[in-house]
Amino acid sequence: MQIVFPDSIEGIPAFYQSCQGDEEKIKFIVKGLIEHDLLDYAESFTRLACSEFHTSFWPFINLLCILTKAGKKVESISVAANIMKTSRMSGDVMCDQVVFEIYSIMRDFMQANQKDVVQALMELAARLRPYGKRLISSSGELAPLSQDEFKAKITKAIEEFKQGKTALPFVLDHFNKCELKDISAFKGKKVLGVFRQRAYSSKEARDVEFLEFYPKTALPLGLDYRTFYHDAFVHTKHYSAEDYIEQIDRLEKEVREWRPDYIYIDNLLSHHEPEITERVQARLAAWKAEYGFKVIGFFADAWGNKQKKAIGQTMELADAFHHSHSTYIGTLPEDVEKKTLCFPCPYPRSIFDCPDVEKDIFTLFHGTLNPMRVPWATKILESDLNVKMHFSNHHVKGEVATMDAYARALSRAKVSLILTARTTMQTAMTGTVWEAILTNSMILEEESVEAPHYLVPFVHYVPFCSYAQLKHYIKYLEQDEELVSLIRQNASDFYDQYYSPDHFWSGILSLADANH
């Protein structure tokens, strides 16, 4: 396709009109303008496309991607900010996309040690989205407490909790409304756990880390537990139609021969094209009618928007649902709500209890360097804070520690630093919270919406919502290890009292029985 560009930027509107809304032609022209270093032309052209396609943001993302691939990373952000100021598109959606792109780009500059560019990008992100202010502001609600105020706040919170003046967290109030049977009532019951084995679609992906939690907590409680892998149901990209049918047939054979009392299914087979999902679920419904088992749908990433929709789509099939996204409580249809358990997965102390490991790290971050963590990592690595940052690639098998090695690594920390922001600009409680509790580490968590739904702030963990707070609170805690020990013991005792595996298993199985 041969394109003749206009002689001046004034000719861009007429030039754009000649495209007649052809998406591929628009993309081709933007790429050509950037290749000819006509950035102001590309910006003007994309602004017109954004106005025409104002219910979508593909022209904007297209421009950002082309600029980034061309090595014009800083220019891409400048152009993006200019377009956003005059765009008719949704401000929230656009800001989220741009801030995520900024943090992605920051990762490259951080690794190249280009601190001036990193700082400029961080400041731009803060202007575009309130979340970014956590990294550069220390005023108002982002200001740290003084050391005396910090200790007084913790002391008062603990005293009031012990005196019964503090209400139990929201999740426990919801849990206590369930009619629970004692775990002994389920002794000998058969539970078939149906999970994807790999965490992501790539055949190089790591195995799902929580798979071993289920047998290691169910079997000691007297349940009979088996696992069935259903990757072809979820990761269809790497499986043929024959693989898919063969896996369904194998599941049916397992159900027919073993006759489970409960089937606990990862995502409840709802990650397919609608017609495929309907076919699979129809077969499962037929088996359920014939063999009489109860169906439990498990949604591990319920903080994602698609998961909420999937729960609604499968409510007729399921006898119970399990997820841990506490902000869903009260937002789901009533028929779904009454059979939903919002609760942590069953974490086994047998994996995470490592009393022989010396606690020789004061503060540890152990996790992936996703874009939303980049600005935090940048600030911490540039500081003199006593924090060890361990970045791992959790996507690739072979680059992930075994669960035992991971538990031993976490056990070295007196304080576990947890960063909670997701790519959706939400902050979601992570499983590391429970792992930290079981490895006897105190939790220092980037403030999330969900953590206080499970635990009591300043009693079971310390929240922070700005880098200024993080910096000061780490230094305060270093000077008062007795306080660190007190908070982590509070959390450990609370876990045993309310969130142990027997609470999980009696809760989810009782709920399935009640709604069958």
Distance CA 106, CA 114 (A): 9
Q: How far apart are CA 247 and CA 229, in angstroms?
A: 9
Weakest-pLDDT range from 127-131, 169-173, 459-463, 477-481? 127-131
DSSP state of 221: G
Burial (CB count within 10 angstroms: exposed 0-12, middle 13-18, buried 19+), residue 149: exposed
DSSP at 180: P
Number of neighbouring beta carbons within 10 Å of residue 43: 22
Inter-CA distances, 222 with 19, 347, 431, Å: 68, 16, 25
**Residue 485, pLDDT above cutoff 80:** yes
**Mean pLDDT of the chain, nearest integer:** 84
Q: Which of 200, 116, 158, 173 is nearest to 382 (CA)?
A: 116
Task: Express each pLDDT in 372-392 by its tens digit.
Answer: 788 888 889 889 999 999 887
Q: Is the pLDDT of residue 76 over 50?
A: yes
Residue 310 in this model has a pLDDT that exceeds 80 = no
Give the pLDDT score at 136.
74
Q: Distance between CA atoms of 337 and 329, rounded to whole angstroms?
A: 7
End-to-end CA gap in the chain: 62
pLDDT score of 166: 95
pLDDT digits (tens, 9 = 90+) for 114-140: 777 777 777 767 666 666 677 777 788
Question: For residues 192 and 311, what is the distance between their CA atoms, to the nearest angstrom?
Answer: 20
pTM for the structure as a whole: 0.81
Nearest-angstrom CA–CA distance, 113 and 108: 9
- Please tell me the predicted confidence (pLDDT) of residue 89: 46
Tell me how far apart the alpha carbons of residues 244 and 272 are, in angstroms, rounded to a whole number.
11
The string of pLDDT tens digits covering residues 269-301 is 665 566 667 777 888 899 999 999 999 999 876
- Distance from C-alpha of 63 to C-alpha of 189, rounded to nearest angstrom: 57
pLDDT (0 to 100) of residue 85: 59
Q: To which H or E segment does residue 134 belong?
A: none
For residue 192, give both structure tokens.
């078939």
Q: Which residue's entry shows tokens 């992605």?
A: 104
Burial of residue 92 (number of CB atoms within 10 Å: 0-12, 13-18, 19+): exposed
The mean per-residue pLDDT over the stretch 143-170 comes to 96
The predicted model gives 327-354 an average pLDDT of: 88
The DSSP symbol for 3 reads -
Could you tell me the pLDDT band of residue 333, with boundaries at 50, 70 and 90? confident
